[in-house]
Amino acid sequence: MLGYRHAFHAGNHADLLKHFFLFHSLDYLIQKDVPLLYVDTHAGAGAYDLSSGYAAQNEEWQGGYQRLMSSQGPLPQSIQRFKNFLEASISASGMYPGSPLIADRILREKDRRVFFELHPADYETLKNLFNGAKQVTVFNTDGFTGLKALLPPPSRRACVFIDPSYELASDYEKVITSIQEALRRFATGTYIIWYPLLAREEARTLRESLLSLHRGNSVYLEIQISKARERGMFGSGLVILNPPWSLQSIIPEALPVLADMLKEEQEIYLPTYRFVREL
Ligand SMILES: C[S@@+](CC[C@H](N)C(=O)[O-])C[C@H]1O[C@@H](n2cnc3c(N)ncnc32)[C@H](O)[C@@H]1O
């Protein structure tokens, strides 16, 4: 069951997309003085050495992180800021930051961070990375079920990042039921859910199922990096419920540039997004 190791994929096109929007979402949410709860239900190891071990085997980061680093010419401000952030983060630790480390670098002392990671080795690495920091709690338990006990947070402000590997077919259903439960407890939180573009039925219907669960504002965005195919991922997307306002301008500005930067083929696949307003 726990065959998936995120290190093989660290810094790839999907990481770049999800980390870009996680960065900008948190960057906006911390502008308000009230403490924020950040929950990462599928946290991974927290940081990855791209030059050795699993990450060096297929070098998937060449199709993501490396594309951003070697991009020439002026970039939209939102992408340039993310690039500067990644450069600073990597020069501080020598590692590509996973979502927990990205969040930790943006969040303030008063913001609580809660990470779930099931894989025993990645859990150990993650726990050691934060080394008992008092704002951080790391659980070696199921993030889908752990999430509900944290909601609603005392400050009534939260950002929840749900980033499963979808290696198990049951993950699709679990994403839906845990969002249903989370919204029932706390409908005003920001929920960021990553999903792969795959031919399989569950992947094709997940986006609309998630959007239909929420009566407030939401958005989805997708980038296709290659032709749709029967086997394997050909891009990925995010559904964001109660998205930060800043994404209204960042998505149209940045998404076409990211799509062009990350594509695997000459052909350009136009990225798609749709804001859904509160009913
Ligand atoms: C896509 S990776 C996470 C990457 C990470 N969010 C990042 O952006 O750096 C998914 C992780 O979830 C872990 N995992 C799988 N099922 C889980 C579950 N039910 N609860 C918590 N972690 C789980 C896997 O071991 C894997 O490390």
Q: Which pLDDT score, from 0 to 100, does residue 185 have? A: 98
DSSP state of 261: H
The two counts, helices (H) then strands (E), for the chain are 10, 10
Residues lining ligand 1, Cβ inside 6 A: 2, 4, 6, 15, 18, 40-44, 98-99, 116-119, 122, 142-144, 163-165
Burial of residue 258 (number of CB atoms within 10 Å: 0-12, 13-18, 19+): buried
Domain assignment of residue 165, given as a range: 6-276
**What's the N-to-C CA distance of the chain in angstroms?**
40
Evaluate whether 42 touches 143 at the Cβ level (below 8 Å): yes
Burial of residue 11 (number of CB atoms within 10 Å: 0-12, 13-18, 19+): buried
Q: Which residues are catalytic?
A: 163
Q: Which pLDDT score, from 0 to 100, does residue 279 have? A: 54
Q: Which pLDDT score, from 0 to 100, does residue 132 have? A: 83
- Looking at the CA of residue 44, tell me the nearest atom of ligand 1: 27
Indicate whether 1 belongs to any domain: no
What are the φ and ψ backbone dihedral angles of 160, each rounded to 5 degrees? -115, 125
Burial of residue 245 (number of CB atoms within 10 Å: 0-12, 13-18, 19+): exposed
The enclosing H or E element of 104 equals helix 99-106
Cα(33)–Cα(108) distance, rounded to whole angstroms? 10
User: Domain of 260: which CATH number?
Assistant: 3.40.50.150
Indicate whether 241 belongs to any domain: yes
Q: Which pLDDT score, from 0 to 100, does residue 1 have? A: 55
Please state at what angle helix 13-29 crosses helix 99-106, rounded to 10 degrees: 20
Q: Where are the beta strands (DSSP E) in 103-242?
A: 112-116, 136-139, 158-162, 190-196, 218-224, 235-241
Whole-number Å distance, alpha carbon 132 to ligand 1 midpoint, is 20
The angle subtended at Cα 11 by Cα 137 and Cα 194, nearest 5°, is 65
DSSP state of 73: S
- Looking at the CA of residue 45, tell me the nearest atom of ligand 1: 27
Q: Which residues contact 212 (CB under 8 A, 6 or more apart)?
A: none
Cα(257)–Cα(75) distance, rounded to whole angstroms? 8
In tens, the pLDDT along 177-216 reads 999 999 999 999 999 999 999 999 999 999 999 999 999 9
Q: Which pLDDT score, from 0 to 100, does residue 124 have? A: 97
Cα(239)–Cα(160) distance, rounded to whole angstroms? 12
- CA-nearest residue for atom 6, ligand 1, is 43
Q: Which pLDDT score, from 0 to 100, does residue 28 have? A: 98
Q: For residue 199, how many other CB atoms are within 10 A of its CB?
A: 13
Q: How many domains does the chain have?
A: 1
Evaluate whether 46 touches 129 at the Cβ level (below 8 Å): yes
Whole-number Å distance, alpha carbon 167 to ligand 1 midpoint, is 10
Q: Which pLDDT score, from 0 to 100, does residue 268 have? A: 79
Residue-wise pLDDT tens for the chain (279 aa)? 578 898 889 999 999 999 999 999 999 999 999 999 999 999 999 999 988 888 888 889 989 999 999 998 899 999 999 999 999 999 998 999 999 999 999 999 999 999 999 999 999 999 999 998 999 999 999 999 999 999 999 999 999 999 999 999 999 999 999 999 999 999 999 999 999 999 999 999 999 999 999 999 999 999 999 999 999 999 999 999 999 999 999 999 999 999 999 999 988 789 999 999 865
